Amino acid sequence: MRTHTIAIHILWSALLLSIFSGCYSQPAPTRPTVWHADDRRPILEPQEETEGQWALWDGTDKMIFYRVGQFLNVGRSFRAIGTWVGLTDPLEAQNINAFDEVPDSTWFTNRHHVNRLSQDTLARGATKEQGAPDMTGPWEAISGKESLGSTPGFVIRDRKNDLYLLKFDPPLHPEMTTASEVISSRFLHAAGYNVPEHYLVEVDPSRITIGEKATFRGRYHVPRPLTQDDIRAILERVPHQPDGTLRAMASKFLPGVPKGPFLYAGQRSDDPHDRIRHENRRELRGFRVMAAFLNHTDTKAANALDMYDPQARYVTHYLIDFSSTLGADNADPQLPRFGNEYFLDFATIGRSMAGAGLYVKPWEVPLRMEFPAVGYFESDYFNPERWRPTYPNPAFLRTTLRDAYWGAKIVTSFTDQDIDTIVHTGGFTDPRAEQYVADVVKARRDKIGRHYFSLVNPLDHFEVKERNGTNLVLRFENLAVLRGYAPNDRPAYRYRVKRLVKFGIDSVILPQQVVHQPTLTIPHGSEVVEPAVTSDDVTLAVEIQTSYDEGKQWSPKSIVYLRCDPKAKRFQLSGLDRES
C-alpha cells in the first residue's frame, strides 16, 4: 500500500508539473536571435516516406485514431484542461526566435509580410522566366489518369525535356479548378511557403503524343500502357474553348528526388536537420490561418512533398496540389459544409443529436452559386476560429493564439491591390467572376484581421533609438490601426519599464505611463544605464498594453526586451513576448 501511495503521488506530481510548467517563464527571452536556420548542410539521402501517401488511410487515421489517441493522452488532456481554465499556458511553437518570428529555412522563407513584394513578383509567384512549357513543339505524354472525383490530367515532357503535370477543369465548371490552383499557389508563395511553378496554358490536343513507356491508371488504378483512345476519352470530358484548345494548369515538376510527403506530426528519422516535431513548427501551425483564408480544405499529408537535392544534399519541404481551395474541390465545387466541419465531425454530430435535428447550421441553408467558374466560395458565415479542413490536421490542432496571430499578420499584409493582382492571374474570362473572388478573399482577410488582432496586442516593427543622449525612444506600429481593424485610430498605450538581471527582476525603474502615440520614452539616468554598462546581464523589459476605450479595458501585454551592449554602452532590441 505504501508503494502504491508513493507511485500515485509521483504520478500526480508529474501531471501537475506538466500542467503548470508553462506558467513560469524566464525574465528575459532565452531564445536565440536567429533569422536563418542552419538546415541546408549535406546529409545522406533519406528514404522515401510512404505513410502519408495513402490519402484514404491518412484521412481515416486523422479523423478517428489520431483524435482518440489525443483524447487518451492523459498528460495532454490535463494540460488542455489547465489551459482552458487559465492555470497554464499552451505549448508554444518550438522553432520561433527571440522576436516570436519564424527563421528562414527549408520549410519557409519570410517574404511579403516582411519585405513587400512588387505587383509583378506577386503575379509571377514561384514561376521562372523560362519555366513555362514550350509551346512550339510536341508534348510527350508520360502518364495519365482517369477522373475519379479528382481532376483528370497527364504528365507530359516538353521539347526542353522538362516535366509538367497537366490538370484540366471539370466540364460543368470551366476555369474553376485551374484558377484556384494558380491563385492559391501565388498567395502561398508570397506568404513564404515552398510551392511548385504553376502556369495557365492553352493545350492543342494535336500537340500531345504518347511516350514509348507511357502508362495509364484507369478505374481501379491498375497501370497499363497509355493509348490514344485513353487520351481522347479524357479530353472529351474536358471543357473545350471555341478554337478547339483546352485550358489547363501546368505544374512543373519540382527539382530533385521526391522523398514522399512530410507528415503534419512527428519527424523524419533519417533527416538530421528535422529536429522539431512538425506539429510544433509555427509555419505549419500558422498555416491553419492561411488555409482558412483560401478555404484550403484538403491539407492532408499527400498534398505535401519533400524533395532531396542530390547536388546540395539536403531536403526542401513543399506544399502541392491546391485544387481544393477557394470554391473548388478537385473536379467539383466545394460543398458548403467544407471549411465548417470535418468530413466526420463528432462534435457536430453530438450537437445535432442534442438538438434533436432542430438546430439548422448556417452552412446548411441553400447557398446560391454566383458563378460556375468560381464554385461555392463565401465570406458571410466564414468564421476564422470555427474554420475546419476536411480532415483533422495535427499541426492545426496545436495552433495557439500566438501562432494564429503570426498567420494573421501574413494574411493581412495583402492589400486590396495585392489581392486584385493575384486573383487576376486566375485568368477568369468573366470580369464579374474575378471581382467576386477578389471581394470574398478581401472579406475573409478582414474577418481574420479583426478576430485575431482583437485577441492579442498587435504591436510590431519595434525600433529603439537614443534621443540627444538623454532618453531611450521605443517606436512601434499598431497593426490593428495601420490595417484598419482597430475600433478607433487613436488608442492609448499604457507602459512601464522593469530592469531585469540574470536570475530575476531587479526593480521597476519607470512606473506606469500612458501616451497616445506609438512612441514610448524611457528617461536616461544613472538608475537605468550605470548598472548595465559593465555587464550584458541587465535587460530592460518594457510592458505595453493598448486601450481603445479611454482606459476602461486594456489589451494583453506586449513585452519588449532591451539589452545593454556594454561595449557600445547603449541598449538594443533583444526580444519580444506576447501575452495571449
Residue type, 290: M
Show which of 218, 239, 258 is a domain's final residue.
Answer: 258
At 495, which CATH number? 2.60.40.10
Confidence (pLDDT) at 478: 97
76 backbone dihedrals φ, ψ, rounded to 5°: -65, -40
Residue 195: which CATH number?
3.30.1010
| Same domain membership, residue 300 and residue 448 | yes
Judge if 278 and 404 occupy the same domain: yes
In a domain? residue 5:
no
Q: Are residues 275 and 203 in the same domain?
A: no
Between vectors from CA 286 to CA 391 and to CA 179, what angle results, nearest 5°?
65
pLDDT of residue 86: 62
CB 423 within 8 A of CB 438: yes
Residues 161 and 306 both lie in one domain: no
DSSP 430-472: SHHHHHHHHHHHHHHHHHHHHHHHTTS--EEEEEEEEETTTEE
Taking the C-alpha atoms of residue 457 and residue 402, their distance in angstroms, rounded to an integer, is 10
* DSSP letter (8 states) at residue 254: P
φ, ψ dihedrals at 44, nearest 5°: -65, 150
Which residues in 89-128 are b (16+ Cβ under 10 Å) and which e?
Answer: bbbbbebbbbbbbbbbbbbbbbbbbeeebeeeebbbbbbe
- Report pLDDT for 526: 42
**Which H/E stretch holds residue 230?**
helix 228-235
Classify residue 546: in a domain, yes or no.
Answer: yes
Same domain for 559 and 520, yes or no, is: yes
In sequence order, what are the residues at sequence separation of 6 or more whose Cβ sits closer than 8 angstroms to the Cβ of residue 300? 52, 55, 58, 59, 62, 390, 391, 393
Residue showing cell 472579406: 443
**Has residue 249 been placed in a domain?**
yes
Helix (H) or strand (E) run with residue 506 in it: strand 504-515
User: Using CA atoms, how far apart are residues 389 and 164, in angstroms rounded to an integer?
Assistant: 28
Whether 470 maps to a domain, the answer reads yes
* End residue of a domain, out of 258, 282, 301: 258
- 3-state DSSP call for residue 298? coil
Q: Which residue has the cell 527549408?
A: 106
- What is the C-alpha separation between 31 and 39, in angstroms, rounded? 18
Same domain, 427 and 493: no
Asked whether residue 157 is assigned to any structural domain, the reply reads: yes
Given 3-state DSSP classes, what are the helix, strand and coil percentages for the chain, each rounded to the nearest 5? 30, 25, 45
* Vertex 40 angle, CA 39 and 46, to 5°: 85
464 in Cβ contact with 483 (< 8 Å): no
Per-residue confidence (pLDDT) for residue 454, from 0 to 100: 95
- The half-sphere exposure of 478 on its side-chain side, counting CA atoms within 13 A, is 25
Among 453, 470, 491, the domain boundary falls at 453
pLDDT of residue 17: 42
Do residues 243 and 289 both lie within one domain?
no
Strand-pair partners of 466: 472
Contact between residue 572 and residue 578 where contact means Cβ atoms under 8 Å apart: no
Q: What is the pLDDT of residue 507?
A: 72
Residue 231 counted as domain residue: yes
Classify residue 197 as exposed, middle or buried by CB count within 10 Å of its CB (0-12, 13-18, 19+): buried
508 and 360 belong to one structural domain:
no
Q: 368: which strand partners?
A: none
Q: What DSSP line would sit under 83-109, residue for residue? A: HHTTSS-----SS--TTS-PPB-SSB-
Strands 139-145, 208-217: pairing kind? parallel
* Domain identity same for 181 and 104: no
Looking at the domain assignment, is residue 3 inside a domain? Answer: no
Q: Which three cell numbers stand for residue 466?
A: 537614443
On whether both 51 and 152 belong to a single domain, the answer is no
| Residue 252 exposed, middle or buried by CB count within 10 Å (0-12, 13-18, 19+) | buried
Q: Strand, coil or helix: what is 118?
A: coil
**423 and 302 in one domain?**
yes
Rounded Cα distance, 537 and 76, in Å: 35
135, 223, 241, 536, 556 from 232: Cα distances, Å: 20, 18, 16, 73, 62
Cell 506609438 belongs to residue: 518
Contact 152, 237 (CB under 8 A): yes
In the three-class reduction of DSSP (H, G, I as helix; E, B as strand; rest coil), residue 116 is classed as: coil
**The dihedral formed by the CA atoms of 328, 342, 304 and 439, expressed in degrees to the nearest 10:** 40
Any domain includes 17: no
Residues 6+ positions from 431 with CB-CB distance below 8 Å: none
CA dist., res. 139 & res. 133, Å (int): 9
Model pTM score: 0.88
Low-confidence stretches of the chain (pLDDT beneath 50): 1-27, 148-149, 526, 529-534
One-letter-per-residue 3-state SS of 36-75: ECCCCCCCCCCCCCCHHHCHHHHHHHHHHHHHHHHHHCHH
Number of domains observed in the structure of the chain = 3
Q: Give the Å distances, CA to CA, from 193 to 109, 188, 283.
A: 7, 6, 8
Range of the domain at 202: 129-258
Q: Are residues 146 and 222 in the same domain?
A: yes
- Determine the pLDDT at residue 532: 46
